[in-house]
């Protein structure tokens, strides 16, 4: 329990002072371990996020600090801390002169596009989409929480569900790309049963079995890989189609979901890079409703109902 010391007591981010005349005043409270480390200006984040850091700290100074002299002192401290984090003085002055939200006229958008932030490209996309009355919101999939926090033990690959997988041939360089919403082990057992089936009257369900029967090559079950993971079936189909494009040596009977032509140069560029075969996350599965939030402006067309 916090106790009063030297006529002050902290509460959350507020330090309450008891004045000699009995009046209570407040200032911003910082823990003794506080280091004034904020989001660095050269970090890979949209400018709106960096403006938000400046506005948030200045708004706190305006609302929490009671005395005018204390507000000036707090804002000077904020400016010094942000400059030490790489923020230009001109940037701070420009943000502080921004009109309050209630004074600005909000533009009515017909839709919202949620996209990953890529410095140099996202700004251009935002301007293009704004011309079509579409609001753009940027997000980051790579966060410290995703990188560091592991609240549960990792699931073994065979028990994972909602995956895009790759089955290599044990005798040649051919691969099969498939997807399943069930456990990977369950789907592998079905492929294995199709491979072992020798009934000529039975239609071969799997391209893996078809390749094995025609060539005598059997799959390398020990090196099956989970290429992507997604619980939504259509997004998984899109990821499967991207992986099929990234693996031209596949034995798939079709290319799965029809990808927009605008995606193909990016997929080919990724393929020619060759460092890895992981693709960028595709958009959401359903076709965008202009009155609702969307994630891309051109949605793939689903053509193959069969599970791979």
pLDDT of residue 273: 59
Residue 54 lies in a domain: yes
What pLDDT was estimated at residue 202?
A: 64
Residue closest to 282 by CA, chosen among 247, 211, 230: 230
Rounded to whole angstroms, the Cα distance separating 48 from 137 reads 10
Query: Is residue 60 domain-resident?
Result: yes
Q: Are residues 113 and 232 in the same domain?
A: no
User: Helix (H, G, I), strand (E, B), or coil: what is residue 265?
Assistant: helix
Domain that holds residue 112: 107-146
pLDDT in tens, the chain (308 residues): 778 888 899 999 999 999 999 899 999 999 999 999 999 999 888 888 999 999 999 999 999 999 999 999 999 999 999 999 999 999 999 998 866 655 555 667 888 888 888 888 888 888 888 888 898 888 877 777 777 877 778 888 889 999 999 999 999 999 999 999 999 999 999 999 989 887 655 666 789 999 998 999 999 999 999 999 999 999 999 999 999 988 999 999 998 988 888 777 877 776 665 444 444 444 444 444 433 433 443 444 444 434 45
In this structure, are 35 and 119 located in the same domain?
Answer: no
In a domain, 122, yes or no: yes
pLDDT score recorded for residue 108: 79
Q: ∠ CA 293-294-299 to the nearest 5 degrees?
A: 155
Q: Which residues contact 255 (CB under 8 A, 6 or more apart)?
A: 241, 244, 245
Looking at the fold, whether 112 and 200 belong to one and the same domain comes out as no
pLDDT, residue 152, reads 79
Q: Note whether residue 182 is domain-resident.
A: yes
Tell whether 2 is covered by a domain.
Answer: no
Q: Are residues 81 and 204 in the same domain?
A: no
Q: What is the pLDDT of residue 200?
A: 58
- Please tell me whether residues 162 and 269 are part of one structural domain: yes
Question: Is residue 299 in some structural domain?
Answer: no
Q: At what angle do helices 47-64 and 68-84 cross, to 10 degrees?
A: 150
Tally of domains in the chain:
3
Residue-wise pLDDT for 80-99, tens only, equals 999 999 999 999 999 988 66
Same domain (yes/no): 124, 247: no
User: Which of 99, 113, 74 lies closest to 290, judged by CA?
Assistant: 113
DSSP-assigned letters across all residues of 199-243: -TTSPP--HHHHHHHHH---B-GGG-EEEEE-SSHHHHHHHHHHH
In a domain, 129, yes or no: yes
What is the 3-state composition of the chain as percent helix, strand, coil, each rounded to the nearest 5?
40, 20, 45
pLDDT at position 98: 66
Asked whether residue 137 falls in the same domain as residue 159, the answer is no
Do residues 136 and 115 touch, judged by C-beta distance below 8 A? Answer: yes
One domain, residues 15 and 78: yes
Please name the residues in contact with 135: beta carbons below 8 A apart, sequence gap of 6 or more.
107, 109, 111, 112, 113, 129
Question: Do residues 125 and 236 both lie within one domain?
Answer: no
pLDDT score for 84 = 95
Contact 136, 129 (CB under 8 A): yes
Core vs surface per residue 69-90: b (16+ CB within 10 A) or e: ebbeebbeebbebbeebebeee
Asked if residue 113 and residue 136 are part of one domain, the reply reads: yes
The confidence score (pLDDT) of residue 270 equals 66
Task: Output the pLDDT for position 280.
Answer: 44
User: Domain check: are 167 and 230 in the same one?
Assistant: yes
Residue 298 lies in a domain: no
Q: Are residues 139 and 168 in the same domain?
A: no
User: What are 262-279's pLDDT values in tens digits?
Assistant: 777 877 776 665 444 444
């Amino acid at each position: 329990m916090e106790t009063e010391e030297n006529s002050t007591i902290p509460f959350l981010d507020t330090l309450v002072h008891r004045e000699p005349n009995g009046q209570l005043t407040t200032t911003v409270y910082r823990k003794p371990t506080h280091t004034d480390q904020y989001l660095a200006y050269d970090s890979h984040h949209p400018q709106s996020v960096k403006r938000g850091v400046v506005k948030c700290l200045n708004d706190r100074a305006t609302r929490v600090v009671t005395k005018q002299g204390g507000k000036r002192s707090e804002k000077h401290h904020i400016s010094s801390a942000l400059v030490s984090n790489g923020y230009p003085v001109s940037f701070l002055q420009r943000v502080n002169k921004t009109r309050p939200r209630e004074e600005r006229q909000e533009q009515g958008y017909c839709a919202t596009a949620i996209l990953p932030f890529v410095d140099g490209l996202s700004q251009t996309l935002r301007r293009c989409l704004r011309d079509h009355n579409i609001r753009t919101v940027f997000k980051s999939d790579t966060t410290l929480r995703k990188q560091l926090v592991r609240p549960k033990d990792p699931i073994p690959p065979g028990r994972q569900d909602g995956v895009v997988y790759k089955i290599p041939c044990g005798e040649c360089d051919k691969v099969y790309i498939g997807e399943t919403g069930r456990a990977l082990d369950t789907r592998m057992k079905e492929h294995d049963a199709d491979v072992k089936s020798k009934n000529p009257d039975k239609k071969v369900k799997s391209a893996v079995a078809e390749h094995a029967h025609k060539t005598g090559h059997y799959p390398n079950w020990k090196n099956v890989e989970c290429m992507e993971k997604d619980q939504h079936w259509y997004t998984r189909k899109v990821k499967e189609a991207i992986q099929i494009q990234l693996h031209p040596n596949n034995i798939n009977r079709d290319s799965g979901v029809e990808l927009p032509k605008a995606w193909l140069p990016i997929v080919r560029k990724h393929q020619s890079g060759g460092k890895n075969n992981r693709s960028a996350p595709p958009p959401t599965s359903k076709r965008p409703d202009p009155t609702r939030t969307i994630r891309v402006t051109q949605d793939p067309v689903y053509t193959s109902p069969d599970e791979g």
